Amino acid sequence: MTRNEGLIFERSSPGKTGMELSALDVPPVSAKELLGEEFYRSEIQGFPEVSELEVVRHFTRLSTWNYGIDTGLYPLGSCTMKYNPRVNETVAALEGLATDHPYTPESLAQGCLKVLAQTARCLIEITGMDAISLQPAAGAQGELTGLLMMRAYHKDRNEQRRYILVPDSAHGTNPASVTIAGYEARNLKSNDRGCVGLEELGRAMTEEVAGLMLTNPNTLGIFEDQIQEIARRVHAKGGLVYMDGANMNALVGVARPGEFGVDVMHLNLHKTFSTPHGGGGPGSGPVAVKKILEPFLPAPIIEEDAEGFYRVNHDRPKSIGRVRAFYGNFGMAVRALAYILAYGPQGLRQVTEDAVLNANYVLAKLRSAYELAYDAPAMHECVFSDRRQAQHGVRTGDIAKRLIDYGFHPYTVSFPLIVSGAMMIEPTESASKAELDAFIDAMLSIAREVEEDPQIVTSAPHTTRVTRLDEATAARKPVLRWKP
């Protein structure tokens, strides 16, 4: 039954509804008269008509075809699929926090403003930076915001710079954001340790370069241990260092980017700070900066006066402007703050320790069966290559699909691009040893299958509602909506 839930439109029949309205307490009007023939619309063609129970069953059934963190281990590298505490949902839904309008007068919105200000204060302490904006709606928007600020900084000093250096191991959003910011991305080849090499950097870092975008730990899960020297060299040429904070789960409470020489960075509240991914958003991508970049932060910013009253300051003449309407994804700030409060100082450090321990445990247990991309200790994630399995015609994507049959969500497939057939595993602190052992057993078992019966791997998954989907046809002849 639940395997055959059609589209909601296919359940529709005229006259049904899933919600009734309260009685109208003002005189009814004629929409046709008020709006006039020119503007009046008589119906929305094709719109569904179903009852409340049908809606409940429809979406409940759909949900059973999904896999979430609540379902089981979700070792998706670079995505930090940690537990999303349920109390965070409860507090984000509180009347007053979920119901205040962004144009509520300051004096009546002190609760919301306080939550934003306290979240900001905690994130500044955690990153070791000097100031922050919570406005960017997601990590990629945080990147763009940071780049626009770098641009504004150089412009303010009457400098024109064209390029941003981006290591080849970076997330795809980095070079994409560079383009949108009006810069050109220059690829920086990683060295044989999978890191930014000083020589390569020296060659690329000229006075035409506005800065370097660096992920640390990088996407291989390796800490860029030359970071101070890298920053020194970028600064020596008048450039700035942007840190993609996607991997902050390896650092919270252990090290602070503000002390590495980083000038600007973004955080992903939906990764490090446990706000739910929700099947692909909403996220939140606060941008933290050092003093020199503070004047350029998106406007407005929230300030606390001597009496403890929170004010919204729009008077920011050097600001790059708004990147999103209102205050950004406020609801995500509520959840992130609830996360920080739950753990406190020691707890936050414990999270990092557990996340790094778990990744190193997986690395140690799988390296006999799978080839490590770079033989270095892991931070919060580890990256293998499918090179050995490829000899049997099995690729990283096949192994990922076979993991589904073993009851796990796959790791991240084929990223970073500099690793042939990458298998990127990030267990996070939320995986118990017992779960990791089961995952490791599954991976080892698949490695044996690859040698003994590769076909069972290449035809996986075998246990899901649908088997492998034809992506080529979907792209060639796009069907993007239901039609009667």
Q: Which of residues 424-443 bind other proteins (CB under 8 A)?
A: 429-433, 435
Tell the smallest beta-carbon distance from residue 5 to other proteins (Å). 8
Tell the smallest beta-carbon distance from residue 477 to other proteins (Å). 9
- Window 212 to 241, contacts with other proteins (CB under 8 A): 222-223, 225, 227-228
Q: Provide the sign of the torsion angle of the four alpha carbons 194, 377, 264, 299, taken in this order.
A: positive
Applying CB under 8 A, which of residues 207, 291, 313, 347 lies at the interface with other proteins? Answer: 347
Tell the smallest beta-carbon distance from residue 422 to other proteins (Å). 13
End-to-end CA distance of the chain: 23
Which CB atom, from 237 or from 349, has the smaller least distance to other proteins? 349
CA–CA distances in Å: residue 328 to residues 284, 324, 331, 334, 441:
8, 6, 9, 12, 43
Say whether residue 445 binds other proteins (CB under 8 A). no
Structural contact between residues 334 and 342, judged by C-beta atoms closer than 8 angstroms: no
Say whether residue 115 binds other proteins (CB under 8 A). yes
**Residue 261 half-sphere exposure, CB side, CA atoms within 13 Å?**
21
Structural contact between residues 311 and 106, judged by C-beta atoms closer than 8 angstroms: yes
Contacts with other proteins by CB under 8 A: the residue count is 200
- Tell me phi and psi for residue 184, to 5 degrees: -110, 135
Say whether residue 162 binds other proteins (CB under 8 A). no
Tell the smallest beta-carbon distance from residue 371 to other proteins (Å). 18
DSSP string for residues in 118-159: HHHHHHHHHHT-SEEE---SSHHHHHHHHHHHHHHHHHHTT-
Tell the smallest beta-carbon distance from residue 237 to other proteins (Å). 21
Tell the smallest beta-carbon distance from residue 6 to other proteins (Å). 9
Per-residue b/e over 324-344, b at no fewer than 16 CB within 10 Å?
eeebbbbbbbbbbbbbbeebe
Tell the smallest beta-carbon distance from residue 157 to other proteins (Å). 16
- Tell me phi and psi for residue 400, to 5 degrees: -60, -45
Applying CB under 8 A, which of residues 197, 238, 253, 295 lies at the interface with other proteins? Answer: 253
Distance CA 382, CA 77 (A): 8
- Window 68 to 87, contacts with other proteins (CB under 8 A): 68-71, 74, 76, 79, 81, 83-85, 87
Say whether residue 280 binds other proteins (CB under 8 A). yes
Distance CA 96, CA 295 (A): 31
Tokens of 114: 């306080």
Applying CB under 8 A, which of residues 133, 173, 385, 458 lies at the interface with other proteins? Answer: 173
Applying CB under 8 A, which of residues 303, 391, 455, 482 lies at the interface with other proteins? Answer: 482
Question: Would you give the binding string for other proteins spanning residues 352-381, x where CB under 8 A is met?
Answer: -xx-xxx-xx-xxx----------xx-x--
DSSP string for residues in 392-411: TT--HHHHHHHHHHTT----
Tell the smallest beta-carbon distance from residue 419 to other proteins (Å). 15
Say whether residue 1 binds other proteins (CB under 8 A). no
Applying CB under 8 A, which of residues 204, 292, 404, 438 lies at the interface with other proteins? Answer: 404
Which CB atom, from 176 or from 390, has the smaller least distance to other proteins? 176
Which CB atom, from 199 or from 470, has the smaller least distance to other proteins? 470
Which CB atom, from 91 or from 131, has the smaller least distance to other proteins? 91
Applying CB under 8 A, which of residues 235, 237, 256, 318 lies at the interface with other proteins? Answer: 256
Which CB atom, from 82 or from 392, has the smaller least distance to other proteins? 82
- Window 32 to 71, contacts with other proteins (CB under 8 A): 34-36, 38-41, 43-50, 52, 55-56, 58-60, 62-71
Which CB atom, from 375 or from 451, has the smaller least distance to other proteins? 375
Which CB atom, from 391 or from 425, has the smaller least distance to other proteins? 425
Structural contact between residues 47 and 9, judged by C-beta atoms closer than 8 angstroms: no
Distance CA 132, CA 119 (A): 10
Which CB atom, from 115 or from 209, has the smaller least distance to other proteins? 115
Q: Give the angle subtended at the CA of 396 by the CAs of 438 and 465, to the nearest 5°.
A: 70
Which CB atom, from 43 or from 199, has the smaller least distance to other proteins? 43
Phi-psi group of 464: left, alpha or beta (phi > 0 → left; psi -120 to 50 → alpha; rest → beta) = beta
Q: Could you tell me whether strands 287-289 and 131-133 are parallel, antiparallel, or unpaired per DSSP bridges?
A: antiparallel
Find the part of the chain contacting other proteins (CB under 8 A) among 133-141, 200-208, 383-391, 444-452. Answer: 133-141
Instruction: Give 213's strand partners.
Output: 242
- Window 452 to 471, contacts with other proteins (CB under 8 A): 461, 464-471
